[in-house]
Amino acid sequence: MIDKIKTADEAVAVIQDGASIMVGGFMACGTPEILIDALVRKNVKNLTIICNDAGVPGRGVGKLLTNGQIKILIASHVGLNPEVAQRMNTDVEEDKLECILVPQGTLAERIRAGGTGLGGFLTPTGVGTIVAEGKQVLNVGGRDYLLELPLRADFAFIRGSVTDKFGNTTYNATTRNFNPMMAAAADHVIVGTCNIVETGEIDPNNVVTSGIYVDSIVGGEKQWQI
């Protein structure tokens, strides 16, 4: 079997300036810090980051923001990281952040659509609001829905609790959040995980993310305070 286990620096070596990266986590709970830290060291720039939120300063994608690596952030909520507003409003062109806000359920579903080969889906969320601007509205059964399109990325950073050597992964508690959808929706998937076990050690009924999605596995991820 192909050996997928790498160091964090080896795993992120493939990522270049301008890449799009999906990052699992909700307020950094379920974000693979070990991969974020390696990406800060690699210091690639002009990244498009897709993540539920902007983390907090010093945690999760907040570190990439502080380091000036993010050009576009696609997220549902950025209010708990004051650096987002600062960077959105800066006059320094090269520090300027573009922030695209997407309702949380729509963001999750768009990523799911991206990973499952759907061309889009109809959601009632956002009808009549500024979220609907520029989008097709379809009426089904007398109700209006927005047509929302799939979302994919070049890379996904996934945070596992237990991962076997094939890449099969489980997530503990609320660390799961966006990780499973992102693992299916990126061309190249890197898992930062707390525990690496032998292939076959996870009960096949309880695997959440299949190893077929996983390109690299990085051990040594820890449980972090927010």
Partner 1 sequence: MADIKEIIAKRVAKELKDGDVVNLGIGLPTMVANYLPEGVHIVLQSENGIMGMGPAAEPGKEDVDIINAGAQYVTINPGSMYFDSAVSFGIIRGGHVDATILGALEVDQMGNLANWIVPGKMVPGMGGAMDLVVGAKKVIIAMQHTQKGRHKILDTCTLPYTAIKVVDMIVTEMGVMEITPEGIMLTEINPEYTVEQVREATQCKLIISPGLKDMEF
Radius of gyration of the chain (CA): 18
HSE-CB for 12 with a 13 A CA cutoff: 22
In whole angstroms, the minimum distance from the beta carbon of 205 to a second copy comes to 6
Answer yes or no whether residue 90 interacts with partner 1 by CB under 8 A.
Answer: no
Question: 104 contacts which partner out of a second copy, partner 1, none, CB within 5 to 8 A by kind?
Answer: partner 1
Cβ pair 112, 97 in contact under 8 A: no
In whole angstroms, the minimum distance from the beta carbon of 176 to a second copy comes to 8
52 to 71: interface string for partner 1, x by CB under 8 A? xx------------------
In whole angstroms, give the CA distance from residue 7 to residue 25. Answer: 21
Size of the site for partner 1 (CB under 8 A): 70
Helix/strand/coil for 109? helix
Give Cα separations from 131 to 77, 79, 127, 137 (angstroms).
14, 18, 7, 12
Tokens of 25: 């986590």
In whole angstroms, the minimum distance from the beta carbon of 26 to a second copy comes to 16
Answer yes or no whether residue 77 interacts with partner 1 by CB under 8 A.
Answer: yes
Buried b (16+ CB within 10 A) or exposed e, 54-84: bbbeebbbbbbbbeebbbebbbbbbeebebb
Question: 51 contacts which partner out of partner 1, a second copy, none, CB within 5 to 8 A by kind?
Answer: none
Which residues of the chain form contacts with a second copy (CB under 8 A)? Answer: 109, 113, 117-124, 138, 140-141, 143, 145, 147, 149, 170-173, 204-206
Which residues of the chain form contacts with partner 1 (CB under 8 A)? Answer: 1-2, 26-27, 29, 52-53, 75-80, 85, 88, 99, 101, 103-109, 111-112, 115-118, 123-131, 161, 164-166, 168, 171-181, 184, 199-200, 204-205, 207-208, 210-213, 223-226
